[in-house]
Amino acid sequence: MKLKMYFIMLALGLFSFAMQSCDDDDEDAPVSEQLEKAFINEFGNVAHNWSTRGTNHVASFN
């Protein structure tokens, strides 16, 4: 019985670790035209990529 409980606890621990490593970023996420214009007004017309983290939009550029 104790051995079975140890395996169940190990499985739950591994499962919770695996769920934390899931990434919710979406590369090349569509953004609104208003957001795109605001970015261009602030940083100029530089090459950039959009992604999302949760409900936030993130622009990556050099």
Three-state SS sequence of the chain: CHHHHHHHHHHHHHHHHHHHCCCCEEECCCCCHHHHHHHHHHHCCCCEEEEEECCEEEEEEC
How high does pLDDT run on average in the chain? 82
Structural domains in the chain (count): 1
Tens digits of per-residue pLDDT, 37-51? 999 999 998 999 888
Per-residue pLDDT for 53 more than 70? yes
Instruction: For residue 42, give its domain range.
Output: 2-61
- Whole-model pTM: value is 0.54
